[in-house]
Amino acid sequence: MTGKTVLITGANKSIGFETARQMGRAGYRIWLSCRDTGRGQAAADTLTDEGLDVRLLEINVADDASVAAAAARVQVQDGRLDVLINNAGIPGQSLADTSLQPLEDIRQVYETNVFGVIRVTQAFLPLLKAAAPATIIMVSSGLGSLGWTTDPDNFHSKVNILGYNSSKSALNAVTVSFAKALAPHGIRVDCADPGYTATDFNGHSGYRTVEQAGAGIAWLAQQDPAAQGGRFFFEQAQVPW
């Protein structure tokens, strides 16, 4: 066991769940966080049965009180947090004419994918600073890469979803900002693209497995926390913002 702790949002299924499993196998104590406590408990029980050290933590990343209560619980029980993986996200509507996506739907996507990440990160900063050097990983998407989505030879340029794509581009910018601000505190902040993974998110149409996606995130989360942050990775290779 490493004696280190990791909190993963949206970890009751799919990529978040598999990332929790791989971090647990690497010796981390897992704070498995999600909105649905029933599904979360089932997920936590599955990993506990595999011999992993898992604690369920209810978090609605779009709710200030929920996030504050979760941070207070981790403060009482652990007093520190070595790794935060902001994985929770929603796709929003996908329309044939993306320019017609309702503003309210886009707002909901941003509330989770962007503001939720900021909310959770800020709430857990005291715990990350207590553990420093520490690490924050933002789970983004290749669809948030302006370099890829504007390259006509890259398959990401063929997928144009106004709310989701732009929310992940915004998340990438948030990552850079946090990386600059937190480096003096000994906290590395990086971004991970799990790739087009077969999950409920996309009707299981992705070509990658959750095991592959989780491996890339878990690898990045375990890199030297004292290293320079503000980078975007797919697998183990840095990719363009």
Provide the whole-model pTM. Answer: 0.95
Question: The tokens 């209560």 sit on which residue?
Answer: 69
Q: Which two tokens stand for residue 41?
A: 């408990």
Catalytic residue among 4, 13, 28, 168: 168
Rounded Cα–Cα distance for residues 147 and 18 (Å): 28
Average pLDDT, the chain: 94
The string of pLDDT tens digits covering residues 50-104 is: 999 999 999 999 999 999 999 999 999 999 999 999 999 999 988 888 899 999 9
Q: Which class would CATH give 5-238? A: alpha beta
The string of pLDDT tens digits covering residues 92-120 is: 988 888 899 999 999 999 999 999 999 99
In terms of Cα–Cα distance, which of 212, 203, 187 is closest to 132? 187
Question: The tokens 């320079």 sit on which residue?
Answer: 228
Can you give the residue ranges of every domain in the chain?
5-238
Count Cβ atoms within 10 A of the Cβ of residue 104 and give its class: 0-12 exposed, 13-18 middle, 19 or more buried: exposed
What pLDDT sits at residue 95?
Answer: 84
Respond yes or no: is residue 129 known to be catalytic: no
Rounded Cα–Cα distance for residues 116 and 107 (Å): 12
Cα Rg, the chain, nearest whole Å? 17
Respond yes or no: is residue 110 known to be catalytic: no
Q: Tell me the CA distances in angstroms from 155 to 48, 128, 152, 216, one per residue in order.
A: 39, 37, 8, 20
Catalytic residue among 28, 110, 164, 196: 164
Q: Cis link prior to 152 (omega < 30° from 0)?
A: no
Helices 103-110 & 162-182 angle (0-180, nearest 10): 30
Rounded Cα–Cα distance for residues 194 and 85 (Å): 13
